[in-house]
Amino acid sequence: MQISGAQMVIEALIAEGVDTVFGYPGGAIMNVYDEIYKQNKFHHILTRHEQAAVHAAEGYAKASGKVGVAMITSGPGFTNAVTGLADAYMDSIPLVVISGQVPMSLIGTDAFQEIDAVGISRSCTKHNYLVTDAKDLPRILKEAFYIASTGRPGPVHVDIPKDVTAQIETFDYSIPVEIETYKPTVKGNPRQIKKAIEAIASAKRPLFYLGGGIINSNAAYEVRELVKKTGIPAVETFMARGTLRHDDPLLISMLGMHGSYAANMAMSETDLVIALGARFDDRVTGKLSEFAKNAGVIHVDIDPASISKLVNADFPIVGDVKNVVTEMLELCSAVNPENYESWRETINNFDELHPLTFHEDSERIKPQWVVKRVGELLGDDANISTDVGQHQMWTAQFYPFTRPRQWMSSGGLGTMGFGFPAALGVKAAAPEKISINFTGDGSILMNIQELMTAVEKKLPVINIILNNNYLGMVRQWQTLFYNKRHSETDLSMQPDFIKLAEAFGGVGYRVSTKEEFDAALKDAIEKNVVALIDVVVERLENVMPMVPAGGSLFNMMLLEKKGKK
């Protein structure tokens, strides 16, 4: 059929089964927004900032497993969205971000709201396009969704000049995607898988190292079965929380800079690392030369560039984690769980020596208590998002995750301001679950304008502000490594969060006791509107354990015993 480029965008989104689009209109994308007005096949959520639109699309993608879609205009509209693109690229989140561009005749003339969007996005997207002819739009849009969702997922950017959206051309979306230079390997090499199983069977202290790729490939339940059948202990990365249930006896905890003592010591003592969908990030490995230095390495990843990039893999397996683990399950009868009994006992001893805990306080609220309390009250009924900082690490440490896609946070880029808009996207994707955003008094103000989006679109996200009047994580580093020189991290001057929430049409609470917190959370859930719960917490609490940057995993700063200073 003969339709305009703008209509092609709408028809492509419908053909891809898109039900929600996040965005912010402007001059260069106006033709497309005119077509959005005319259709009723998908829902558009108007955010109050372009960065928030992309973060919301990220939250939607993380919670649903689908491709998130955001739409923005040219110039500052696009530059505002770049942080979201970079965040999605670092965390392998499937997005298609469509931006408007000035007309073809004006490109390169420094026209009003012109920016080299494709040039800017090249380094922070999996792929990008500048569409110069409407006849190419069906192919490009179909390729964009395919590239975003296959192989190692990631954001794809499609930049469309305004005159291209007005061109009339033939729309045919039936042509299959054929990209000669892009053919992800999804099946693992059977010989390598067999060798890996043999290595596991002969190891004395093997350890599963579970990464975010497991969540992306929807492989959590296969991984749970593999861990159970082999009896091999497992550690999770920050991005993999929820792969195993929090109460799985074989789950040690999260490892890395703020991982548990037992998890980090297990990685330091293992003789075989079984890495599934993990990229050996510096926050996990610490000092590379000391990381699992006496261990062989099995590395399963769909991205061949990730394998042996940082840590040499003795058994490299390129393939989709779900497919590889399924094949490993068929061979794992060769692995005897009883062989690892003493290894499991050693790890239990590590955990008993320095458990992942905190010092309770009868008078003041500890931030860790808030996270644990929400877990006790809501558990599986909540989806959990966070901003970035101390609250993020406490949530990763102490929330009792029960399932994949329950946990949404900015890992690789560490983007303050991610949590609230992401939680809106999560609520749009999973309206049956309570959407909680743990945030800090610094992070929440980064995208506070999205209170208006939440009220208008009836997305009742509950923001729990762990308020210590500091940029807490930076303050922690200044305390520990800069001789307590707290340079520009004091946030004692703050808005009245109750009045702020109410001004936008939501509800606000300020709590300083455990009883007040329970009452506030209950009331926020019952009112079913966007909420800010401002929790006054211990100001100088630190996230522990902690591996200093560049240090070895086994050389941790630990929680001081109660009563010691």
Taking the CA of residue 549 as centre, how many other CA atoms within 13 Å lie in the half-sphere pointing to its CB? 3
Instruction: Please give the full DSSP string across 18-55, using - where no structure is assigned.
Output: --EEEE---GGGHHHHHHHHH--SSEEEE-SSHHHHHH
The Cα–Cα gap between 499 and 508 comes to 7
Chain segment 490-518, per-residue pLDDT in tens: 999 999 999 999 999 999 999 999 999 99
| Residue 108 CB neighbours (<10 A) | 10
Q: Is the pLDDT of residue 27 over 70?
A: yes
The Cα–Cα gap between 473 and 393 comes to 10
The Cα–Cα gap between 279 and 285 comes to 10
- Residue 560: pLDDT band with limits 50, 70, 90: confident
Helix extents (H) in 270-320:
282-285
| Bridge pairing between strands 95-101 and 155-161 | parallel
Give, as one character, the DSSP assignment of residue 111.
-
Q: Is the pLDDT of residue 361 over 90?
A: no
- Residue 555: pLDDT band with limits 50, 70, 90: very high
Q: Is the pLDDT of residue 459 over 50?
A: yes
Please identify which residue in the block is written with the tokens 């946030």.
491
- Residue 363: pLDDT band with limits 50, 70, 90: confident
Q: Of the residues 90, 328, 473, 556, which is catalytic?
A: 473
Q: Of the residues 11, 16, 35, 50, which is catalytic?
A: 50
- Residue 45: pLDDT band with limits 50, 70, 90: very high
- What is the per-residue pLDDT for 110? 94
Q: Is the pLDDT of residue 543 over 50?
A: yes
Mean pLDDT along residues 248-258:
97
What average pLDDT does the chain have?
A: 97
| Residue 357 CB neighbours (<10 A) | 13
The Cα–Cα gap between 52 and 55 comes to 5
Q: Of the residues 112, 187, 341, 560, which is catalytic?
A: 112
Please identify which residue in the block is written with the tokens 């929680």.
559
CATH ID of 190-353, from 3.40.50.2000, 3.40.50.1220, 3.40.980.10, 3.20.20.450: 3.40.50.1220
User: Catalytic site residue 398?
Assistant: no
Q: Of the residues 113, 225, 269, 309, which is catalytic?
A: 113
Q: Of the residues 62, 66, 162, 322, which is catalytic?
A: 162
Mean pLDDT along residues 383-410:
98
- What is the per-residue pLDDT for 565? 44
Q: Is the pLDDT of residue 35 over 90?
A: yes
User: Catalytic site residue 473?
Assistant: yes
User: Catalytic site residue 162?
Assistant: yes
CA dist 170 to 8, 34, 284, 343, 559, Å? 9, 20, 50, 64, 65
Give me the residue spans of the domains in the chain: 2-170, 190-353, 367-536
| Residue 281 CB neighbours (<10 A) | 18
Instruction: Please give the full DSSP string across 148-171, using - where no structure is assigned.
Output: HHSSS--EEEEEEEHHHHH-EEE-
Q: Is the pLDDT of residue 22 over 60?
A: yes
User: Catalytic site residue 287?
Assistant: no
Chain segment 283-338, per-residue pLDDT in tens: 999 999 999 999 999 999 999 999 999 999 999 999 999 999 999 999 999 999 99
- Angle of CA points 193, 198, 200, to nearest 5°: 95
- What is the per-residue pLDDT for 527? 97
List 440's β-bridge partners, or say none.
466
User: Catalytic site residue 113?
Assistant: yes
Equal fold, 190-353 vs 367-536: yes
- Angle of CA points 308, 413, 397, to nearest 5°: 85
Q: State what percent of residues in the chain have pLDDT above 90.
A: 98
Chain segment 83-137, per-residue pLDDT in tens: 999 999 999 999 999 999 999 999 999 999 999 999 999 999 999 999 999 999 9
Is residue 273 within a helix (H) or strand (E), and if so which, with residue range?
strand 272-276
* φ, ψ dihedrals at 465, nearest 5°: -90, 115
**Class of the CATH-defined domain 367-536:** alpha beta
CATH ID of 2-170, from 3.40.50.970, 1.10.150.120, 3.20.10.10, 3.40.50.10610: 3.40.50.970
